[in-house]
């Protein structure tokens, strides 16, 4: 009996596939919300081809969350208007120990997402462990491993800020998940 080699990540799975990926260009905005810095990344996906467009961080200033939220909203709104994403991928809020931090993160996430609504994108969310698994091949990957892998996958030379790398990892996770969803719907006969 022949054993199939199990891929270590969604990226590896996409490279092993022989059937066509979903067709049509899709622009994805990846968001890594934070109450002080919100990372963003824009990629274009056309079948199996992924093209890097832009990445960075929106830095919100001020001592109070109420002054930072409008800055997050405004920064993401400008990105949405300039790049007109078809889909937005965002990290799911999780609560570890500090409920106050989770609430602030949730508010920043809400400000960032609502800033995209004018362009009417489809929104998808991913757990941090899912993102790490998709990009690095292990859900327990460290931040520097994610950063290194994102740079390699997107062929980025030079520095890449941590927030931008995280947002790019979220966008890449979604790009690979789109391919898997399309394959699954073809296999089951469900609409995409």
Contact 147, 165 (CB under 8 A): yes
- Which one from 32, 77, 130, 166 is the annotated catalytic residue? 32
d(CA 160, CA 147): 7
Contact 90, 123 (CB under 8 A): yes
The answer for residues whose C-beta is within 8 angstroms of residue 145's C-beta and 6 or more apart is 132, 136
Q: Which two tokens stand for residue 84?
A: 């007109």
166 is catalytic: no
Angle between helices 143-154 and 128-136 (to 10 degrees): 50
Contact 173, 14 (CB under 8 A): no
19 is catalytic: no
- Which one from 77, 130, 163, 166 is the annotated catalytic residue? 163
- Which one from 87, 91, 130, 166 is the annotated catalytic residue? 91
Which positions are catalytic? 32, 91, 163
């Amino acid at each position: 009996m022949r054993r199939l080699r199990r891929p270590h990540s969604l990226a590896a799975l996409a490279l092993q596939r022989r059937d066509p990926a979903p067709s049509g260009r899709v622009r994805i905005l990846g968001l890594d919300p934070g109450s002080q810095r919100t990372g963003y990344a824009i990629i274009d996906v056309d079948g199996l081809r992924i093209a890097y467009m832009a990445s960075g961080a929106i830095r919100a200033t001020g001592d109070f969350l109420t002054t930072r939220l409008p800055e997050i909203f405004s920064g993401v709104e400008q990105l949405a208007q300039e790049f007109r994403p078809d889909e937005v991928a965002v990290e799911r809020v999780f609560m570890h120990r500090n409920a106050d931090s989770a609430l602030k993160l949730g508010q920043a996430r809400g400000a960032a997402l609502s800033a995209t609504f004018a362009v009417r994108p489809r929104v998808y969310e991913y757990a941090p462990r899912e993102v790490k698994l998709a990009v690095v091949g292990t859900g327990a990957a460290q931040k520097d491993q994610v950063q290194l892998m994102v740079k390699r996958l997107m062929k980025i030379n030079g520095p890449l800020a941590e927030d931008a790398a995280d947002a790019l990892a979220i966008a890449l996770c979604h790009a690979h998940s789109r391919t898997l969803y399309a394959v699954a719907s073809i296999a089951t006969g469900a609409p995409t």
